[in-house]
Structure 1
Amino acid sequence: MGLANAWILLGLVPVIAAVVVLPRVLRRRRRTDAAVPVAHIGRLTRLPGFVAAVTRMRLTTTAAIVLVGILGATAALLAARPIVTSTEKPATFTRDVVLCLDVSGSMTDVDIDVLARFTELSEGFEGERLALVIFNSSAAQVFPLTDDYDYIAQQLEAVRSSLDGTGEFSDAFGGTLTGEGASLIGDGLASCVLAFDRTGEQRSRSVVLATDNDINGTPIMTVDEAGAFAASRDVRVYGIDPSVAKAGDSDDSAEFQRVVDSTGGEYFVLESADTVPTIVDSIEATEAALVDEKPKVVVTDQPTLLAVLATVLLGGLLVLVWRARL
């Protein structure tokens, strides 16, 4: 334990000097004062009651002086601000996950289920930042990376209700129809990879991509090129395929799985009951990038003990003064 304002204790020096010197000066002054003759005072001073009263007064006065001294020292220590200093080197888990949803016509019937899985996915995380990007012939960001899970749930519900007709049509869907063709998966995946910010920081980055890999049109980037682009940026892709009952049932699903595997991610079928927990476990197990921050000096005030002591001393002094009628 240390003192943040130790210089305050220098103020105790004149106080201590005054307490030591002043009584001596007063005693010398009393000795030089003219004495008042009183007859037979010796008899009075020898009375047991008088002796007891003088003794009690002296003890009480001495105790009061001691209490005042300790109280003053305690107050000075409190004013000097007792502190405890420690050095911490915090480690922060920094996971970023972009939910990437194909909203083309061939996906409309299953997008609601996918969004339900996305909601489950967001509920399984704690501390991760999530974003949602939807794509068709072009990509649109519904919300950027954030760890506000109430906002995430609200936005996922808004997109879901837009798809099933129970809510207003989201403006984000308009941004998915600015190109030619439909379900341009390579372009959509590349856009999702570009949604990651803080590129200069050491952070883990994952894309959870839901698509049936049914391309209609000529994309700027093929699925293979988008997968290679993701891998070049250390982004793992976790694929959710709603078009098949099991992996490899179609050429499109086989290609989808191959691209996902090339990024170090995993491929899942939507109907599998293990899809969501497995994705969460995989991301938490393999995407936990620990970023060691610079050591920080933490200063914590520790006034409690001295404050309690000062309160007890003050209470004792007041009782003593009251009893002694000082």
Structure 2
Amino acid sequence: MDAFLLTMAGQTMAGPTMADGWTDGLRLDGFSLRWPLVGIGVAAAFAILWYIAHRAAQRSAYRPADDMPPVWTLNDDMQGIAADNRYRGWIRANRAAVVLLSIVGLVTAALCARPSAIQRDNDAATRRDIVLCLDASESALPYDQQILESYLKLTEHFSGERIGLSIFNSTSRTVFPLTDDYSLVKNQLQYASDLLANLTSSGSVANLTQDQIAEIDRWLEGTWNITDASSLIGDGLVSCAMMLPEFVLNEGRSSGTTAGSGSGTSASSDRTGMILLATDNMTNGTGVYTLGEGLDLTDRSNIAVDGLYAGTSLTSGTSEAVEMRTLIERHGGVFEMPSSQDAIDNLVRDIDNRSVGEEQDINRSDLRDRPLLFLAALALLWLLYLAIEGALRR
């Protein structure tokens, strides 16, 4: 159902909302009619159809001439009071059927007018922006499904944080920008996890169908625009940082100007920017930034970067893994292996420790469709009408 979302952060919404203004004078026991003119039109159409049908029935009914004497039969005389009672009952049932049919028309018109209700919630939201930054190069791709599962587990600990996802190889692609729509976040992460579930090694590509390969290629599209390089981790990190309004790319700029929002836009000093970087640190080619330079830039913008190593315990001692751990921890971040049982708890603890300011109170008003009561009433009324109509036919 469509929902008109009105959100105001940090203050209580007093007085009528925009949705209230649209529906003033059209409320009934907590309900609002979003399309009142449509309902009026449907009711008028029902009235016109009933009038036409009524006039047609009157014209087709047999009426004896005024000077024709009444005709009585012996059967009429023998039936007496019983026949009269049945006739009176038939009249009452017929009138009840007409009334029910009229109410059915009114309820149908109300349904067409879209009955809605305003749902107000008061939520507490944190002041954190978190970008999930995923290496989607050929060497890291077999481990990305495990990384995505770690991301999913991590989101279960969040409440009110804005989350975004970016994937990179030689270039970057934003899968979804910063949002607090957790259903979207979880759906996107689960879709990517399921997509890569059968891609556990470079050799497992041979076991995939052409449709699966094509779907993976579509998901990765936009990450290999530089053909003579791959896994440009420093560039990928900076691209992820540019999703955050707190990020300042050029040191010469004023501290209130951000790279992610363009010149002249002030950064949100009351929010915490964080990046969760997942990579194997195996760079192939020369990028604009190295991992160390990218971490220096995020550090100057007070953006914390935590690391998830895309590999196994057997490769955790390689020079690439050691370098990544050293650089992440040197800049104040947490380095974890996805297979570690304490990885998620350690990351959540680090994220909680980096909060800026207190939680925000977000007053949210949603104008939502509420047709269920009207549909139930319509079904009940229609069943009663059919029952009376059946009795009349008998």
For Structure 1 versus Structure 2, the TM-score category normalised by the shorter chain is 0.5 to 0.7
What fraction of aligned residue pairs are identical, expressed as a percent?
33
Alignment of 1:126-145 (within 5 A): 126-145=159-178
Within 5 A, what are the aligned runs for 1:227-242? 227-242=295-310
CA distance in 2, matches of 1:91, 1:156: 24
In the alignment, what sits opposite 1:255? 323
Residue 221 of structure 2 corresponds to residue 188 of structure 1: no
Q: CA deviation at 1:247?
A: 9.4
**Distance apart, 1:278 and its partner CA:** 1.2
SS in 2 for 1:133: strand
Distance 1:246 1:206 in 2: 28
- Aligned equivalent of 2:354, options 287, 290, 309: 287
2:280 paired residue number: 212
- Opposite residue 144 of structure 1, the aligned amino acid is P
Deviations 1:58-83 (A, max 9, x none): xxxxxxxxxxxxxxxxxxxxxxxxxx
TM-score by length of 1: 0.58
In the superposition, relative to structure 1, how do residues 193 and 246 fare at CA in structure 2: closer, same or farther (>3 Å)?
Answer: farther
What is the distance in 2 between the residues matched to 1:137 and 1:245? 26
Residues in 2 aligned to 1:216 and 1:150: alpha-carbon distance in whole angstroms:
36
The answer to whether residue 311 in structure 2 is matched with residue 243 in structure 1 is yes
Matches of 2:351 and 2:345 in 1, distance apart? 10
Question: Residue 221 of structure 2 aligns to a residue in which SS?
Answer: helix
Name the CA shift for 1:110/1:292 in 2 (closer, same or farther; >3 Å): closer
Alignment partner of 1:145: what SS?
A: strand
Question: What's the counterpart of residue 192 of structure 2?
Answer: 159
Structure 2 runs not aligned, ≥5 long: 1-122, 198-207, 247-257, 259-266, 361-394
| Structure 1 match to 2:289 | 221
User: Greater RCO between the two (CA within 8 Å, min separation 6)?
Assistant: 2
Q: Give the aligned partner of residue 220 of structure 2.
A: 173
CA separation of 1:246 and 1:122: change in aligned 2, threshold 3 A: farther
Distance in 1 between residues matched to 2:302 and 2:230, nearest whole Å: 27
For 1:118, which of 146, 151, 155 is the aligned residue? 151
Aligned counterpart in structure 1 of residue 245 of structure 2, from 187, 194, 197: 197
The alignment status of 1:146 with 2:179, answered yes or no, reads yes
Aligned length in residues? 206
Distance 1:171 1:215, change over 3 A: same
Q: Report the secondary structure of 1:230's partner residue.
A: helix
Higher helix share: 1
Q: Is the 8 A contact 1:115 1:160 kept in 2?
A: yes
Residues 42-81 of structure 1 mapped to structure 2, 5 A cutoff:
none
* Over 6 Å off, 4+ runs: none
1:238–1:260 CA contact under 8 A, matched in 2 = yes
* Higher Rg of the two aligned structures: 1
TM norm structure 2: 0.48
Q: CA deviation at 1:292?
A: 8.7
Q: CA deviation at 1:162?
A: 3.0
- Cα 1:247–1:275 change in 2 (3 A) is farther
Q: 2: distance between equivalents of 1:91 and 1:207?
A: 22
SS for the counterpart of 2:139 is helix
Amino acid at match of 2:355: A
Aligned counterpart, 1:264: 332
For 1:105 and 1:248, locate their aligned partners in 2 and report how far apart those are by CA, in whole Å. Answer: 18
Q: What value does the CA root-mean-square deviation take over the aligned residues?
A: 2.7
Q: Which runs of 5+ in 1 are unaligned?
A: 1-89, 294-326
